[in-house]
Every structure is written in C-alpha cells, then in structure tokens.
Structure 1
C-alpha cells in the first residue's frame, strides 16, 4: 500500500526569490561537501612531503568517504526526529570544525582523524539538503531543484582537481581546508536566517542500538572494499573476517529494527512496492555506475592502449553525459510528473553499453560514444530514483526514506567495486600483459549485462505513479 505523499511545509519560503536563495545556498553546501572529496587528491603529494606518512595517505580520502557513508542514514532519521534545519546546521558546524582542524594538522594521523570528522559533517550536509528540499516542496515542484544536484556534482568534479592544485601552489595545502571556513560561515548565516521550517515537537526515541549496528556495518563494507584485493588478498583472514562481520552486523541490525520504537530505517517502508523497488534499483545503479569507473580507466589505458590525457578527455565526456542527462530528465519529470521511464531507459543503456564494450574493438572515437552512452545511463537514474523515493514518503519519513535510498546506492558502489575487482583478478595472470587486461575487462563487461537486465526488469515493475 502506497504511503500518502507529504504536503509541503506551511512555513517555508514566502516568495519564489526567497526559495531560490535558500536552495542555491543549500547547493553551495553540497558543493563544499562534494568538492572536498575531489580537491584533496591533487594536494596529497605536497601533504605527504610535509607531514610524512606515505603509507597512510590513501586514508585521507578513504576515511572521509567512509565517515560520510556511515553518517547518511543516521542524519536522515535525526532530521525526521529533531527538525531538518537544526540537523543541517549541526552538520555544517561539524564539517567546518573538521576543516579547521585539517588545516592545522601536524601529523598524518591527525589529518586522517580530522578528515573523518569532516566526513561525518559532509554526510549530514548531503542528506539534510535532500530532505529539506523534500519538505520545502511537493515532489513535482521539487523535481526542478533536484536537477541542481547534477549541476553541482558536475561542477565539483570538474573544478575540484584544478582548484586543489591552484590553491596548493598559491597558498599551500592547508588552504584547501581553510577556504571552507568563510564560505561555510556565509552558508550557515543564510540558512539560519532565511530557511523557515515547522519545528518538530514530537517525543523522540533514539534507536541507539540501531545506530551502532548500522554504522559498524557500513564501516565494515567500506573497509572490505578498500582493503580487499589490494592491502589483503581476497582469501586472507582479514578480508574474510570483514565479509563475515558485514553479514552478521546487517542481520543484527535488521533484527534490532523490528524491535525498536523509532527505528533508523523503519522496515514498514519496504511494504510500499515503489520504495522497495527504488532501493533495489539504487543499489544496482551504484553497482553498475560508480562501481565500474576504475575499470573503465583500465579499459581505456590497458585494453585500448590510450594515453592518460586522452583517457581523461574521454572520462570527461562520460561525466558530461551524467550531468546533462540527469539535469534534463529532472526538468522533464517536473513538467510531466512522471518518472517511470527514466530508470528503465538507464538500465537498458547500461546493458547496451556493456554489450558494445564487450563485443567491439573500439578506437578513441567509438570509446567516446560508448562512454557518453554510459554517462547518460548513469544520469537518467540518479535524480529520478530520488524523486520516486520522495514520492512515497510522508513528512515524518522524508529523512529516513532519502537516507535509506542514498545508502543503498552507496552500498552498491562499494560492493560493485569489490565484485568487479574479484572478477578482474580471477582472470589476470601473475604478470599481466595488455592482452590479459583486455580479456579480463571483456569478462567484466559481459558480467554487467545480466545485472543491468535484472535492473531493467525491476524498473518495469515500477507503477506509473505521478509525482504529487
């Protein structure tokens, strides 16, 4: 049975201009969050030269991403319980505190610890913005603003590496963190004074056991994907232990959610067929989308023997496909109120692109076409699934719904990365040649096809429900 969609909050923004200002400021917060996952990579050589810790430097990025992933569902539920504006402001203050501490770090260990703090704030920013837009507007009204996420993501991806290098050269690596402080202070001031949402007054029962179990499960999954097949072999006790811990923690979490008075992820949400399908599709979209990106780089450079610069141009083509298809699809959804066709088109394009990559000897021109199609496939599902999830939520469940859907996509990305790494290493000899890489990547593309077709079948089960 479908849940009744939420009406927009009565005391939101009194004028279109005020609403636009608020949403633009929220997107600036998302931009800061996304930028910090991109901007640091360029500065890492300078960081390690200054602080040392060469063997730890990967955790400067990994710690940030893991902390953000673990924080998402918790912040979504806290926003439902205590008010989304309050949780957003807490998130950005944590993010800014982490940024300031990173800029003052004296050792690599300190920097990694402060990046984890920053990541905890970042996860709260992202999910809070999704939930605030969900409360400010009806699903169909909100569709036009969801498209801004695509533009923000594209801008952060394109600007991040260049800006990181520029700031590092001009003002030192610490500036890439400290620059967040004045921008974050401005965002905080605007949201504190111009965003008006109804105050939550209901009695809250925080599911502490659920928080601990879910956080531990998300951390275990991310550690498994970060360490498995690289730092530790797939058959090592550490990797097997992380996999077993993940399964055990998720099982215990589900049991805890059945008993909790106010669970982090209410299992009753899955009684709505649309929501259950959206969560499954989000997992598959993450699995096939971001989970395969590293192997597309290998395909370009090792299988097609293209240079680093050419590969970079082609991956930029893919990114443009993601941004444009996501933005345009949300515009069309806002106009028609219908989202059903876009996830289906996305999965069909994933299957088509995987087939073309597996069966065709591509040169640079064909590779550009394939990657553009792949990017379009990724963009068609990104905001459409968020809108479909939002359409199933009552006002009290917006955060939990968006948090669960976002976490499913992140879990799909993490497990996709691990799965495709296992497929790749299973085909590679001890000293792989370009031909060996080509054979292994050929198998990866073939494996993608049935997964995409499962996603297509699921997407066809979505009801043709109009956004409210």
Structure 2
C-alpha cells in the first residue's frame, strides 16, 4: 500500500505545474553518485551539502529530497591524456617489477654465490605488494589520491635505485621488499583514479586497458630485464602525473575518512599471514625439503593462526562498527559468491603464471645455455598471447555478461599449456614446442586478467570498488608467490636427491656458473635433469591448482546476470540510496563529500 501511495504521489508531482513557469522538476529522490567511483555511468549535477572540513562534521540536508552535487566536469583532453599516461606508467612499472628479475636471477645468484635463497628476491617484492595494496587504497581516502600516489612513486623509485646499489643478497631482498610497498600503492591508486577521472563515454574500455597492462607488464618484465632503468621512466611519469593533476573543480567529491578509521591491525595480520605461510614453503624448499622440522612447521602454524585472527578481527569490526571502519578485508565482498569464486580463480591462474615467468628463464639459461637476454626474448610468444587474451576478454563481454565463461576458458587454456609443457626433455638443444606451449598459458592468463578486473568492478559496490580491485591483485600475487615458493621447494627436493645419490655436489648445483669448468658432461646431464624435472613437476602441480580454479570459476555464473553496463547502473542506484541514508545522519563520522586532492 505504501508503495502505491508513493507512486501516486510521484505522479501527482510530475503533473503539478511549476510555480515559476519553468519545466517540471523530477520529484524522485537523488539517484546520483560520484561518476568517478564507478566503472561507468551517467552522473548528474546536484547541490553540495554544507560541511566543516576541519572538524569533519557534516550538516545533513533538510530532507532526503535535497540532492548532492557529486559530479565533476570532464578534464581537458590534453590534461586527461597526460594524467592517464602518468597513471598507466605507474601501473605498468608496479606490475613489471613482479617479474623483471626473472631472467637475472641466475646472474644474481652467481654474483652473490647463493642460488638456494635467490627466490627471495622476487618473493620480497610480491609479498609486500600483496600485503599493502588495500591499505594504500584506504590511506588515499585519508590523505587524498595525489599525495598517496606521489608517496608511492617516491618509495618505488628510491628503493628501485637502492636495489641497484645492493652489496649483498640480504640488502637486495630488503630493498625489494620496500620497493614492493611503493608498487602496491602505484597499483591500488591507479585502479581508483582511472575510473574516477575518466569521461563516461570512455569508461567501457577501462577494464580492457587495465587487463592488457596487467597481463603484458608481467611478461615484459623478463624480456626487458636490465634494458630499462626505473629512475628515468619512473621520474618522468611521476612528473607527468604531478603536473597534469586537475584543479579541484575537476575532481569528484568523495567521502573522506579519518586516520582512526583505517584498519592497521587487520593490515598487519594480513602481512603476517601471507609472509609466514609463503616463508615456510620457500625456506623449507631451499633447505632441501625439511618438512617435519620447526623451520617449516613454526612459520606455517603462526601464519595460519594470523589468518584466523585476521578473519576474527574482521568479523568483530563489521559487527561493532559496520562501515565506519575501513576494514582490511571487507567481508561483504567475500559473501558475494561470484566475487569470491572469481578471487579463487584468479589466485589459481596466478600460480602457474608466476611459476612460468621464473622457472622458464632459469631453465633456458642452465639447460639450453642461453643468455639472460635470450631467455627473456623466448617469453615473447607468451607475451603476444597474453595481449591477445586480454583483448578477447574485453570483446567477449562487450555486449553480454560472459565473465563466467571467460574465467572457465582462461583456466582450461592454462591447463592445456601446463600439461603440454610436461613433455619437455632435458636435451641441451632448445625445443620449439616448449615456446609454442607457452602461448596457451599466456592466452589463458590474458583472459583471466581482463575477466577478473571486470568481475571486481561489477560485483563490488561503488564504495568497495577500490578494495575489490586491491583484493583481486592481492590474491593474484599470492597465488604467484606460492607458485614461486613451490618451485623452490621442488627444486630443493630434486637437488637433495641428486646430491645424496652422489651424482653431483651441492656446490656444483648451487654455483652452476662459477663451477662450470669443474662439471663433467655426465654431471651436466644430471643438472639439466634436475631443472627439467623441476619444471615438469611444477607444471603438474599447476594443472592441479588450475583444475580447482575451473571448479571455482563455475560459481561465477548466475542465472540472473545482466549485461556489464546494466550492472554498473545497478551499482549506481545502490550507492545513491546508501549516500542518501548517510546524508540523513548528522552523526556520521566521515568527512563529507569534497574534492579529494
């Protein structure tokens, strides 16, 4: 009855003639939100509420009919292009460094005489990257997007240079970890600002572009290796970003948060759980498979306990404070079946992807005798396929929502590639089929990158869009980190077996380059066999993980799914209702909608 009365009242309001002779005004409540916070939509200008930006107090509108000005005029084309270039370079560099040392690991290991611990060089970056992505997004709600992004750039550039000056493996690992903190900020802030400042007519292509950058940057890392230095590129793109940052009139008004609302405890528990769990496998692998000893059990148990404490804390936050606290892991997202399934699928795809980026270049150098540059160039087929897969993911979902099919196809393509790679031999001659099979892995990962980016945007509310993208990045890198650790564990077991059999010495396996002259042809055959068996077993494990990913991807499907564009409109309406409810509560602790500088 109330609904019928409301409709009649609305219809009567449309029929009433305006008092001043102007066009009739739409009597419906505000359904507009910040165009910047959504992936696409059509924002409408509304009047702003009064607010005290110093105290954070909000003056609520007199009624829910009072409308909020949450729109912003489009940026001039030149300024927009320069800004997107700066953001794109930041995103590219952040993802590039997840794999840029892949072809250099063998050289770095020879330089520091430490092949057993060399995988900590990539792991240090990926672990801090995955741990701080959501935290950086939350901090940007407090200090502003520009300050957070420039801070991330400074951290990234400074410690990129420091990595080049490292005098020991321990220093290099430490600098890579700090570099990863900056990289996480470059990623998460870019994923927020790009849709916020993109004109409505261009928002449809954002997910596809981001997917291509994410996918190609990872594969380009080993190819570029030491060809590029971060200093010049990072410095130029940071300057572009700073100079092209728009004036306040072009910035969308967003809800500011306070420092006390940031979930630092949750972020700490997230870091602890990720680092300790990966550390247990990586460290045990480098020790030759000490699975029953304290060096493995201790960190693993502590990491799992931290993970349990993390979720317990998130449940407490949600029940005690609701959305007044910026949780490290928004549980509302995890209750979304499609989003959670997409996260698990993304993590499964990240496992063989990162494993391939690090295992194949080392194998090309040790088994096939290729240089670091040649080893990187041999990943070009995978790069090309990744770009094609990213583009196809956007095409498949242009008119209809086929995200479930996209994610299933991604895992199946990667399974085919991993399974075929298990046929590689330990012969010193390079087998062309090994390069050809990488195409399937690249194609599948490209589909996954675009599909997961779109899924995060459509299955999250506008308020949690940044957190959703951060979580997708985190699980992708977590899966990759576990893949790297798994390869280390497999190599450790295979190496230990070869040493115990008396075929080679531990020193010959650990310092292949420096002791090449003392290795006989028979021993070289054993070494090639160790690295080939490591590859085969890693690909086999990758197939198992991806099979689980196929099962998870089936739950992305929904009978009631709607086209991508319509899904965004639904998110607009939901956010409009939420903001109207918030505007009616003067006790809200958030700083009101203002342009976030």
**Under a length normalisation based on structure 1, what TM-score does the superposition of the two structures give?**
0.80
Shift of 1:202: 4.7
Indicate how the Cα distance of structure 1 residues 21 and 61 shifts in structure 2: closer, same or farther if over 3 A, else same: same
The 3-state SS of whatever aligns with 2:459 is: coil
Residues 166-188 of structure 1: per-residue CA shift (max 9 Å, x gap): x6xxxxxxxx5476445423333
Shift of 1:280: 0.8
Q: Which moved more, 1:432-441 or 1:70-79?
A: 432-441
Partner of 1:197: 252
Partner of 1:418: 485
Alignment of 1:130-149 (within 5 A): 130-136=191-197, 140-149=204-213
Q: Which moved more, 1:219-228 or 1:31-40?
A: 31-40
Question: Of 132, 135, 142, which residue of structure 2 is paired with 1:71?
Answer: 132
The 3-state SS of whatever aligns with 1:430 is: helix
Shift of 1:193: 5.3
Partner of 1:308: 370
Partner of 1:449: 543
CA distance in 2, matches of 1:84, 1:280: 29
Residues 49-68 of structure 1: per-residue CA shift (max 9 Å, x gap): 9xx97669876655444332
Larger radius of gyration: 2
Question: Of 255, 259, 277, which residue of structure 1 is paired with 2:316?
Answer: 259
Residues 267-307 of structure 1: per-residue CA shift (max 9 Å, x gap): 121111111111111111112221344444576677xx544
Q: Which moved more, 1:429-438 or 1:266-275?
A: 429-438
CA distance in 2, matches of 1:360, 1:238: 33
CA distance in 2, matches of 1:158, 1:376: 17
- Is the 8 Å Cα contact of residues 381 and 438 (structure 2) preserved in structure 1? yes
- Is the 8 Å Cα contact of residues 225 and 418 (structure 1) preserved in structure 2? yes
Alignment of 1:41-190 (within 5 A): 62-80=123-141, 83-99=144-160, 113-136=174-197, 140-150=204-214, 153=217, 156-157=220-221, 160-164=224-228, 177=231, 180-190=234-244
Does 1:430 pair with 2:498? yes
**Under a length normalisation based on structure 2, what TM-score does the superposition of the two structures give?**
0.64
CA distance in 1, matches of 2:204, 2:452: 13
Partner of 2:28: none
Q: Which moved more, 1:333-342 or 1:381-390?
A: 333-342
Question: Of 395, 399, 403, which residue of structure 2 is paired with 1:339?
Answer: 403
Indicate how the Cα distance of structure 1 residues 349 and 250 shifts in structure 2: closer, same or farther if over 3 A, else same: same
CA distance in 2, matches of 1:105, 1:447: 34
Partner of 1:172: none
Q: Which moved more, 1:225-234 or 1:109-118?
A: 109-118
CA distance in 2, matches of 1:367, 1:42: 17
Residues 30-81 of structure 1: per-residue CA shift (max 9 Å, x gap): 23334555667889999999xx976698766554443323211211333456
Shift of 1:123: 1.1
CA distance in 2, matches of 1:107, 1:294: 21
* Unaligned 5+ runs, structure 2: 1-30, 37-70, 504-525, 569-597
Question: Of 259, 275, 280, which residue of structure 2 is paired with 1:219?
Answer: 275
* Unaligned 5+ runs, structure 1: 168-175
Question: Of 443, 448, 459, which residue of structure 2 is paired with 1:381?
Answer: 448
- Is the 8 Å Cα contact of residues 32 and 180 (structure 1) preserved in structure 2? yes
- Is the 8 Å Cα contact of residues 63 and 115 (structure 1) preserved in structure 2? yes
The 3-state SS of whatever aligns with 2:290 is: coil
Q: Which moved more, 1:228-237 or 1:68-77?
A: 228-237
Residues 136-183 of structure 1: per-residue CA shift (max 9 Å, x gap): 45773422432451476168526632425xx6xxxxxxxx54764454
Shift of 1:222: 4.2
CA distance in 1, matches of 2:402, 2:411: 17
Does 1:26 pair with 2:87? yes
Question: Of 555, 563, 574, which residue of structure 2 is paired with 1:466?
Answer: 563
Partner of 1:206: 262
Indicate how the Cα distance of structure 1 residues 6 and 159 shifts in structure 2: closer, same or farther if over 3 A, else same: farther
Indicate how the Cα distance of structure 1 residues 223 and 348 shifts in structure 2: closer, same or farther if over 3 A, else same: same
Indicate how the Cα distance of structure 1 residues 286 and 12 shifts in structure 2: closer, same or farther if over 3 A, else same: farther
Q: Which moved more, 1:121-130 or 1:426-435?
A: 426-435
Q: Which moved more, 1:134-143 or 1:384-393?
A: 134-143
Alignment of 1:221-300 (within 5 A): 221-231=277-287, 233-235=289-291, 236-260=293-317, 261=321, 262=325, 263-297=327-361
CA distance in 2, matches of 1:334, 1:289: 26
Does 1:400 pair with 2:427? no
Residues 377-424 of structure 1: per-residue CA shift (max 9 Å, x gap): 111101211110111122221121111111111111122233344455
CA distance in 2, matches of 1:113, 1:453: 35
CA distance in 1, matches of 2:389, 2:127: 28
The 3-state SS of whatever aligns with 2:261 is: coil
CA distance in 2, matches of 1:40, 1:63: 12
The 3-state SS of whatever aligns with 2:253 is: coil
